[in-house]
Amino acid sequence: MAKKKADKPKNAVTAARSGGKPPLARRAWENFKSLAATLAIFLFLRAFFVEAYRIPSGSMIPALLIGDWLFVNKLRYGPHVPFTSVNLPGYAVPKRGDVVVFESPYQADEAELGNDPTPTLVKRLVGMPGDTIYMRGGLLHINGIPQRQGYGAEQNPKGDPTEVHPLFDWQKKVGLKQSRFGPAPEQPTHDDWGPFVVPAGHYFMMGDNRYNSKDSRYWSFVPRANIRGRPLFIYYTYVPQNESDRALSFITDIRWSRIGHMIK
């Protein structure tokens, strides 16, 4: 009997807690569970609530600059369930004038170049479902009403107003042959296109920097299911290295005055 007592663990509580596992293996397992839980919470928040987004181009100058980092509110318009075609209900609907983050319609020309054919983009929503939209002399019209661009964008450099691009050809199929606003031109150009009607469940997006923006004029309307959220504010921004005269511009050339700037 004495021998059997001696064979028992000296600390039964420790033995029960360890489950027979070596202490190092148990600590590793606990650390793994903590890391996995943290990662799961992060991915959940990123998928359904807020996501960071970096501005890679100048298509929204001056509202958004290259090097701006934004927080995007995904809950506003309804979060998209990852790896599905399901969008959950939001607490607001997209409206004209909103800056919107969305998944681009398929761009065959980008696929041919080996680029992402459906990139995540940020543009301004200018055309609602049912709107008749067109441009004459570079001035956008919605339902016959001229739209002053505003947002400080009138200061952006102008390009060639007569530019003809092969990607404009989709407009020929939807351009109205007859309307109270006149017929669509046989050949759409950068500053003269439409009128056409925005289909139900779709939106027309344009960049504020209109001579440097590849938008709905090139790849058509954006389905409601593609909308991912609305930018909230700039949480970090710096002058890109190719525009800065300072080394390590992401540290040495921060745009302090833009941090915290709300997106309008």
Active site residues: 59, 123
> Residue 99: which H helix or E strand, with range?
strand 99-103
Chain length of the chain = 264
Closest by CA to 217, choosing from 163, 171, 264, is 171
> Longest C-alpha distance within the chain, in Å?
106
HEC assignment per residue over 153-204: HHHCCCCCCCCCCHHHHHHHHHCCCCCCCCCCCCCCCCCCEEEEECCCCEEE
126 burial class (0-12, 13-18, 19+ CB within 10 angstroms)? buried
Tokens standing for residue 56: 């890679």
Count of beta carbons in the 10 Å neighbourhood of residue 42: 10
Closest by CA to 197, choosing from 125, 128, 131, is 131
Count of beta carbons in the 10 Å neighbourhood of residue 121: 25
Closest by CA to 123, choosing from 213, 238, 240, is 213
Rounded-to-integer distance, Cα 57 and Cα 213, Å = 9
